[in-house]
A and B are shown apart, each in its own frame.
Chain A
Amino acid sequence: MSQHDYSDNIKLHYYEGDQSKLYSGVMNHHYHHDVKSKESKQQIGRIWKVFWILLAVTVVEVIIGMFFSHHMPKALVAFFFLALTLFKAGYIVSVFMHLGDELKNFIIMILIPLTLFIWFILAFLMDGHFWLHMNSTVPVR
């Protein structure tokens, strides 16, 4: 009974409850006290800047989609839209989700599985295209 190590109990509470005291640097490594400080205003400015970038890119995409996409080769349209979408995604993930502010190994851990997606997308789209080709060109016996 007297073998209870109270320090372990306290630690357990922190792991399972409020973690702010466990990772003493982690929770408040951003924790400053003046929201009107220059640092804070800079970050807010950065956030709005990214908003304008996202808005501009979306407007460009919609204009191209409405007026020009029918007069361009399909592959170019696809490449263009996907490139702009990835551009937007990059900004949202790195600035809005703060992934860009995390440790490098953490960023890599999140991004590497997503590169598998490139293979996933290419494989299935090529497969679909191949099925269509086979179904429309193989001669009837």
Chain B
Amino acid sequence: MAQQATAVTTEQKLWGGGRSPFNVSYGKMMMWFFLLSDAFTFGAFLISYGTTRFFSAVWPDPNKVFHAFPFMGHMNLPLLFVSLMTFILIMSSVTMVLAVHAGHYGDKANVQKWLMWTIVGGICFLSCQAWEWTHLHHQGAWWGSFTDASTPLDMIKGFFSDKTMADPAFAAGAGLQSTHDFYNYFFTITGFHGGHVASGVVLLIVALINTVNGTYEKRGHYEMIEKIGLYWHFVDLVWVFVFTCFYLL
């Protein structure tokens, strides 16, 4: 703790070089900066979604779009599947924090165990997302879908609430246009997020292999686990916002 005592004494010693002014390593600080930049990217996507939605006279109802559950056929279970996905990701965040905690104490066995569970959680989430995408695609949704003006309204009625469909703008073309916009945004944003989850899983597997091989034990610290943990929590955080914007609001 001598480091922290020096930090409060003289400005000169803090920014004089040869030490970290914030008491964090270069790698950790750069990971935070990267996460900040990534937050802006996701934020820009979500704000763009919000702007388009505010610009639309009508908009699909998430309770109607997301009502399916695997193996439950045509049962109407609004928002249940995405709640399961959120739970899985939060769970994997907890196992990640426990892995980082074990790393702080040099407890290799527990680092391995909790990393393993985090990887399982990530793969489960990706599988759920793949199911969601496939299911929606079977209903005709994709990038650039619902552009044909002669599409019968029956094809999109399943995505809107009854109250919205009573609005004259719905039949006049706004229904089709907003369905098109909604799915463009949905696949882009969840796809970009899914890409982050997938790359996170790859990084976690690499970290697990390194842990098993004793790389971090030899190094004397498990900071790499902590840095990957930051990335993983960021991925969870983004999902919390995507979940709110797409499924709740």
Contacts and interface: CB of A to CB of B under 8 A. Distances in A.
Nearest to A54: B90
B126 interface: no
A44 B57 contact: no
A40 B249 CA distance: 39
Contacts of B91: 51
A105 B241 contact: no
Contacts of A125: 47, 50-51, 54
Contact of B54 (A81, A106, A132): A132
Contact of A132 (B55, B94, B220, B237): B55
Interface in B223-248: 223, 226, 229-230, 233-234, 236-237, 240-241, 244, 247-248
B101 A47 contact: yes
A5 interface: no
Interface stretch (B104-112, B141-149, B203-211): B104-112
A117 interface: yes
A43 B248 contact: no
Interface of A: 15, 18-20, 23-35, 40, 43-44, 47-48, 51, 54-55, 58-59, 61-62, 64-66, 69-70, 77-78, 81-82, 85, 88-89, 92-93, 95-98, 102-103, 105-106, 109-110, 113-114, 117, 120-121, 124-125, 127-129, 131-132, 136
